[in-house]
Structure 1
Amino acid sequence: METASASAEESASLVDFKPCPVLESIASQFGLTKIEEDDSTSCDAVYSDSVSVRLDVYPDAGLVDYSPGPSSVISDTNVGSRKAKLVEKALTSSSCAVAVEVGVSSRVDIAASADTSLDEACDAAARVAVAVESKLPK
């Protein structure tokens, strides 16, 4: 029973997690511009001339619930002390995502899309994921 209540608490804490203020708080670190709310659980930003990033909050979906695209290549990784998944070709051949576990049934996804380079997108997603991880509820 402790696990159920712990994950309920973790989910509840992520319900109040707002993605745009988090991106705004790390904007100067990466030169993020045009930070715009897509909806209350998603925020978009421009990372560089050729890369955009997006932060999505999933208060009721864990890492096991991640739904990859048909061409996605997924590998297990860690961001800080948290379990995560690196998803290459998340939506397109030049997009990358890092799904970071917050609780058993909650996560945030940091997705990056580059004009041409998968490596550029994955580098941006990984860097932003590390910065976002420090802002996540413990």
Structure 2
Amino acid sequence: MDDDDMTWQHSQPMPMRGSPCVVSEANALAYTSKLPKKNRIFLFSDSERAIPGNWGYLASVRAGVPPEGIMAEVDAWLRQYPDAWLAVDMRVGVIPPAIPDLENMLRTFPRVVIVIVSNDTRDHIWPRWELPL
């Protein structure tokens, strides 16, 4: 990360636990289709309206449910799907997850995390996922 601009100068070739990366929906679908191991992916989003491909869904916001309730659902998901990836929906127009200190939560999350954004060429707090040829 460049201290002057607070932007990442290099991409990340592969998502890893403890190192979330950003990617557009189109690139996420393209990259995951090229991976030899097909891990199940769940979209952590405000609704089921725009789930890419054959991904599952995990609610990040629910009317009347406090952040503790959302985290309880995430904990249950962790036990039920031990090898699944979490795709956090941060696209334009999506309500952000109801999680306090989301950045820290994603950095310490015990699964691979990808952050789905509308434009992965813009500046983000995580590096961009760019699968090598």
Q: What TM-score do you get using the length of structure 1 for normalisation?
A: 0.27
Give 1 or 2: higher strand fraction. Answer: 1
Give 1 or 2: higher helix fraction. Answer: 1
